[in-house]
């Protein structure tokens, strides 16, 4: 992420699209699909020159109304946000794993309970972040 920061900062200055970066994921949003295509190509070119590493097989480079980002699926047409299947399965597995000791002992440690609350707060925070992505893209 640190090696991408200068390149992304420069891309944000040049592009009219909104550019969001989280760890190694980059999300580029724009209403106009032709502008978006051009700016995606420019950012990809800069990435290839700057970092020399770019996973084309994992990339979605064509403009779409449905985006998967940070384990959430954002649908601009229906204005909905939902967990991706893989993230949903992961969350359920985590919950089952954490609750097994509680079922055996018929009690839940305070530490585990706090962890569950933290997980819920993190999920809510991610949901709000996704909602901001959608609403900020609609306003611009």
Question: Residues 82, 15: one domain?
Answer: no
Q: Poorest-confidence range of 37-41, 53-57, 107-111? A: 53-57
The tens digit of pLDDT for each residue in 1-39 reads 566 777 778 888 888 888 777 766 777 877 777 888 888
Q: What is this structure's pTM?
A: 0.49
Q: How far apart are CA 97 and CA 101, in angstroms?
A: 8
Q: Is 66 helix (H, G, I), strand (E, B) or coil?
A: strand
Residue ending a domain, among 43, 63, 83, is 63
Beta-strand relationship, 72-75 and 25-29: unpaired
- Report the domain count for the chain: 2
Question: Residues 32, 22: one domain?
Answer: yes
Question: Residues 14, 29: one domain?
Answer: yes
In this prediction, residue 55 has a pLDDT band, given cuts at 50, 70 and 90, of low
Question: Residues 139, 79: one domain?
Answer: yes
pLDDT of residue 54: 63
The boundaries of the domain holding residue 82 are: 64-140
Residue pair 44/28 in contact (Cβ under 8 Å)? The answer is: no
Residue pair 4/21 in contact (Cβ under 8 Å)? The answer is: yes
Question: Residues 58, 98: one domain?
Answer: no
pLDDT of residue 83: 75
> 63, 46, 59: which is closest to 11 by C-alpha?
46
Question: Residues 32, 59: one domain?
Answer: yes
Question: Residues 53, 114: one domain?
Answer: no
Residue 84, pLDDT > 70, answer yes
Question: Residues 77, 119: one domain?
Answer: yes
Question: Residues 38, 70: one domain?
Answer: no
């Amino acid at each position: 992420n640190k090696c991408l920061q200068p390149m992304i900062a420069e891309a944000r200055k040049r592009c009219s699209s909104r550019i969001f970066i989280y760890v190694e994921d980059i999300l580029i949003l724009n209403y106009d699909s032709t502008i978006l295509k051009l700016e995606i190509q420019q950012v990809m070119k800069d990435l290839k020159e700057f970092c020399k590493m770019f996973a084309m097989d994992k990339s979605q480079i064509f403009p779409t109304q449905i985006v998967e980002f940070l384990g959430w699926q954002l649908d601009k047409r229906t204005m909905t946000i939902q967990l991706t299947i893989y993230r949903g399965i992961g969350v359920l597995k985590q919950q089952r794993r954490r609750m097994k000791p509680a079922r055996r002992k018929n009690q839940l440690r305070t530490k585990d309970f706090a962890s569950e609350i933290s997980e819920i707060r993190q999920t809510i925070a991610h949901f709000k972040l996704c909602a901001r992505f959608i609403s900020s893209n609609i306003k611009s």
